[in-house]
Amino acid sequence: MAFRYRMLAPLVALFVAVVGYPMVYSFWLSLTNYRITRTGQTKFVGLAQYQALLSNDSFWSALMVTATFMVTAVGLELVIGLGLAMALRRQKRVRDFTRSFLLSPMFVTPIAVGLMFRFLLNPQLGPLNLLLEKLHLSYDYFGPGTALFTLAFIDVWQWTPFMVLMLLAGLESLPRAPFEAARVDGASAWLTFRSITIPLLSGVLVVAVLLRGLDAMRVFEYVYAITRGGPGTDTQTIQYLIYQTGIQFFRLGQASAMAYVVLIIVLAIVIVLFRRMVKEARR
């Protein structure tokens, strides 16, 4: 074996053991009717699990819930993040402090964030509800129709700083000349933002949305810590459904098929966005 391949071999072996084996094993599980409680009756069922998913309402509903969560959370994070990044770029004093302070939510583990908001927004004990009560107002943060958006808001609270970080780095690396040219050309702030800032920043925007989108699609901790998929299935995201199917109901074959469908969707999104990015970069 050539020296370069021998040098690569340990990493390849590690990759195969840590990533390859679980991937292959879970794919094999998705082609069986494997249940932890009936391991003796496991048999190969081909694509039956995938076919069953097509008529599984819970699965499609969970995908919709996840998509709604993702679009709401990432959309808000993008808008707020871009606004904050543009404001921070112009900041002249206490820049370092502001930036570190703004990033702090990112360093809290999501499960702790979930628990924190569960108590903050609790209808009986939560300080926010007590405040609303004093104003003779009431709002059910975790009720039907509101719970998912509350979870999205929590995600916005925790991950907007990430968006700020990415976009601020992007904004600060933009060339100065086109902006100066626009000033001389007489462009208004809005025209400059729309015609120059956004197009020049598009590469960073795509990466930031992609990273946050993929992360939002994995949402599990907030659901687990706060709503457990409820009320009803209002907040039953795809990851929580997979967790329930595989770990609570022991149907690992079905859960693996779900996971693979999600993987294909994610890969499709990533490929489309990256192709667009490469096309943009070549222009």
Partner 1 sequence: MASISLQNVTKRFGDVTVVEDLDLELEHGQFTVLVGPSGCGKTTTLRMIAGLEETSGGRILVGDVDVTGLEPKDRDIAMVFQNYALYGHLSVRRNIGFPLKARGVAKEEIDLRVTEVAESLSLTHLLERLPGQLSGGQQQRVAIGRAIIRQPKAFLFDEPLSNLDAKLRLEMRTELLRLQRQLGVTAVFVTHDQEEAMTLSDKVVVMRDGRVAQQGTPASVYAEPADTFVAAFVGSPTMNLLPGEVADGVFRSATPGLVLPTEGMVPGPVILGLRPEDALLTPGGSDGTIDLVELLGPRAIVRVRCAEIALTTVVEGSALAGITEGATVGVQARPGSLHAFDPDTQQRR
Provide the residue type at 154 as one letter.
I
Residues numbered 121-150 forming contacts with partner 1, rule: CB under 8 A: none
Q: State the binding string over 146-185 for partner 1 (x if CB under 8 A, else -).
A: -------------------------------xx-xxxxxx
DSSP category for residue 121: T
178 CB burial (10 A radius; 0-12, 13-18, 19+): middle
Cβ nearer to partner 1, comparing 120 with 200: 200
Q: Which of 14, 191, 264, 271 binds partner 1 (CB under 8 A)?
A: 191
- Kindly state the tokens that stand for 7: 């040098």
Residue 258 contacts residue 53 (beta carbons within 8 Å) = yes
- Per CB under 8 A, the segment of 65-73, 197-205, 220-228, 233-241 that binds partner 1 is 197-205
Cβ nearer to partner 1, comparing 181 with 247: 181
Cβ nearer to partner 1, comparing 30 with 197: 197
Residues numbered 202-231 forming contacts with partner 1, rule: CB under 8 A: 202
Q: How far is CA 111 from CA 21, 53, 115, 232, in A?
A: 28, 29, 6, 21
CB of 106 to partner 1, least distance (A): 31
Cβ nearer to partner 1, comparing 135 with 177: 177
Query: Which alpha helices (DSSP H) does the chain contain, by range?
Result: 3-15, 21-30, 48-54, 57-90, 95-103, 110-120, 127-134, 147-172, 177-185, 189-192, 198-217, 221-222, 238-243, 252-282
CB of 141 to partner 1, least distance (A): 42
CB of 283 to partner 1, least distance (A): 6
Q: How far is CA 274 from CA 113, 202, 208, 277, 282, in A?
A: 31, 12, 12, 5, 12
Residues in the interface with partner 1 (CB under 8 A) total 18
Residue 255 contacts residue 246 (beta carbons within 8 Å) = yes
CB of 204 to partner 1, least distance (A): 14
Cβ nearer to partner 1, comparing 2 with 184: 184
Cα separation, 280 vs 283, in Å, equals: 5
CB of 199 to partner 1, least distance (A): 4
Site membership for partner 1, residue 266 (CB under 8 A):
no
Residues forming contacts to partner 1 in the complex (CB under 8 A) are 177-178, 180-188, 191, 195-196, 199-200, 202, 283
